[in-house]
Amino acid sequence: MHEMHSFMLLRHGHVVAEGWWSPYRPEYPHLLFSVSKSFTSTAVGLAVAEGRLSTDDPVLDFFPDERPSETETGDFLASLSVQHLLTMTTGHVVDTWPFLVERSDGDWIKAFLNVPIVHPPGTHFLYNTGATYILSAIVQKTTGMKLIDYLQARLFDPLGIQNATWQESPQGIAVGGYGLSLKTEDLARFGQLYLQQGRWGDRQILPEAWVEAATSAQVSGSNDNTQSDWTQGYGYQFWRCRHGAYQASGVFGQGCLVLPKQDAVLVFTGGIDVLEYQQLLDLAWTVLLPAFELDQPAAEAVLQNTLAKRLSSLTLGPVPNPAAWSIPSHATDRSYAVDANALNLETIALNFSRSGCRISFKRPGGEDTLVCAGGEWRQGQTNLFNGLNGPYLSDDPVPVVTSGGWASQDCFTMVVRLLETPFFYSLAYHFIDDELLLEIRVNVTLEVPKTLLLTAHLRCTS
């Protein structure tokens, strides 16, 4: 199951096409996942330019109080440098990230430093989200500012980026490797800055030498599959791509693709499976590259008009609205006691009317209510599903839109879109005598099963 939420295409410094699939909109920020890593790298580049640190600095020098003993980690930790963190060549054989989030005392720095380093740093590439967290911690340590605050005056303000948010660890440090939320246009500005070698207007925001180093292949790619954009090399938290391009890339279809040869930037957000990301890049190569070479000025106005109409009608439709809701009598105004479940639900109460449905979910901490109708999206907010997304969402309510309708006399279906994320949930309520079977399916996921089944029993009937 795949879908795009937004895209922007820039050429020669101008927006030539943009679109948002309704109900997603230009004013909504989007969780960018590992695109965040490239912003963390940028912060390191700014700190290096200000003389606050060097890429050759040993990592342990920044954290003397967290230094573990050599018997715990081996002999290689002392030689681990900022450069190795930037290039994902720390020498670990496993991503350190799970060790961080599973640390009981919340000290993610100690968790990272205690993971054994098996290979000499600089000799072994392994994608390592924990390494990016340590870069964030180093920026905070050397500047006395949280990563997002440090970037605000130096990067975000000059580029006109406002209201950026970044999730933090229990230590109050920006996660670094993910957790940044920006609008699509903000991401396009970031890509354009890199395309312009760090220059914005009449100001050099980021040193040109840093841009060159960050987007070059510091780590060589594999030669076994030249058709893959993941085997072209890795820079400072940027991936090299085919056709001389490079990208900031995030799971589930978040991306900022910079094409220097074509003087173009393509950014996008979405909710796609991990394996479909390469298909998205393939589409860019097969469609965009030939189009960049066309010269058809006579047809340009017609093409632009056709494109504008097409882009203005992009939509991810709600659940269809039947001519009239046919509400089964056995499903009206019922409350169910829920068996033990991953959402910690105690009861589910459903109230149907001709205009829509109101569903209340009661948990130990309170009650969460969602309202939906067929043929339209209803605005709301909830934190009902946050715990199902691993560590990627906080406990705070997030904006959602909902829609629902009867699939049959015994099944009500509902879609809940978490607007500022890649995620949406499909809920199917199956009414079986005095029981309710709730089937919850998420569109994309890394850590949990895509489908969750909850059983409930009739509690009372009114």
* 120 and 230 both lie in a single domain: yes
Mean pLDDT to the nearest integer, 77-81: 96
* 227 and 357 both lie in a single domain: no
* 108 and 196 both lie in a single domain: yes
Q: What is the pLDDT of residue 238?
A: 98
Residue 420 has pLDDT above 70, yes or no: yes
* 231 and 339 both lie in a single domain: no
Does the residue 322 lie in any domain?
A: no
* 357 and 277 both lie in a single domain: no
* 165 and 75 both lie in a single domain: yes
Mean pLDDT to the nearest integer, 56-74: 84
Q: 108 and 171 in contact (C-beta within 8 Å)?
A: yes
Say how many domains are in the chain.
Answer: 2
Residue 225 has pLDDT above 70, yes or no: no
Mean pLDDT to the nearest integer, 184-201: 98
Residue 73 has pLDDT above 70, yes or no: no
**Angstrom distances, CA of residue 197 to CA of 6, 12, 23, 39, 453:** 25, 14, 35, 15, 51
* 334 and 288 both lie in a single domain: no
Domain boundary among 237, 268, 292: 292
C-alpha–C-alpha distance, residues 279 and 332, integer Å:
45
Chain segment 1-55, per-residue pLDDT in tens: 479 999 999 999 999 999 999 999 999 999 999 999 999 999 999 999 999 999 9
Q: What is the pLDDT of residue 390?
A: 75
Residue 293 has pLDDT above 90, yes or no: no
* 48 and 105 both lie in a single domain: yes
* 82 and 143 both lie in a single domain: yes
* 234 and 142 both lie in a single domain: yes
189 token code pair: 């500005």
Chain segment 249-266, per-residue pLDDT in tens: 999 999 999 999 999 999
Q: What percent of the chain has pLDDT over 90?
A: 78
Q: Write the CATH number for 235.
A: 3.40.710.10
* 49 and 194 both lie in a single domain: yes
Chain segment 108-149, per-residue pLDDT in tens: 999 999 999 999 999 999 999 999 999 999 999 999 999 999
Q: Write the CATH number for 447.
A: 2.40.128.20
Contacts with 32 (C-beta within 8 Å, 6 or more apart), sequence order: 178, 180, 181, 182, 187, 250, 254, 269
Residue reference for tokens 């995030």: 250
Does the residue 453 lie in any domain?
A: yes
The lowest-confidence range among 181-190, 194-203, 333-342 is 333-342
C-alpha–C-alpha distance, residues 270 and 421, integer Å:
8
Q: What is the pLDDT of residue 222?
A: 67
Does the residue 311 lie in any domain?
A: no
The lowest-confidence range among 175-184, 377-386, 453-462 is 453-462
Q: What is the pLDDT of residue 272?
A: 94
Q: What is the pLDDT of residue 303?
A: 64
Mean pLDDT to the nearest integer, 434-446: 93
pLDDT confidence bin for 322, thresholds 50/70/90 = low
Q: Count the neighbouring beta carbons within 10 Å of the beta carbon of residue 200.
A: 16
Residue 214 has pLDDT above 70, yes or no: yes
Domain boundary among 243, 268, 292: 292
Does the residue 367 lie in any domain?
A: yes
Residue 408 has pLDDT above 90, yes or no: no
Q: What percent of the chain has pLDDT over 70?
A: 94
Does the residue 346 lie in any domain?
A: yes
Q: What is the pLDDT of residue 275?
A: 82
- Domain containing 393: what range? 329-461
Q: What is the pLDDT of residue 230?
A: 93
Q: What is the pLDDT of residue 462?
A: 45
**Mean of pLDDT over the chain:** 92
Does the residue 95 lie in any domain?
A: yes
Does the residue 48 lie in any domain?
A: yes
pLDDT confidence bin for 299, thresholds 50/70/90 = low
Does the residue 210 lie in any domain?
A: yes
Burial profile 292-324: b = 16 or more Cβ within 10 angstroms, e = fewer: eeeeeeeeeeeeeeeeeeeeeeeebebbeeeee
Residue 417 has pLDDT above 90, yes or no: yes
C-alpha–C-alpha distance, residues 172 and 414, integer Å:
37
Residue 450 has pLDDT above 50, yes or no: yes
* 285 and 348 both lie in a single domain: no
Chain segment 349-397, per-residue pLDDT in tens: 999 887 889 999 999 989 999 999 889 999 999 999 988 877 788 888 9
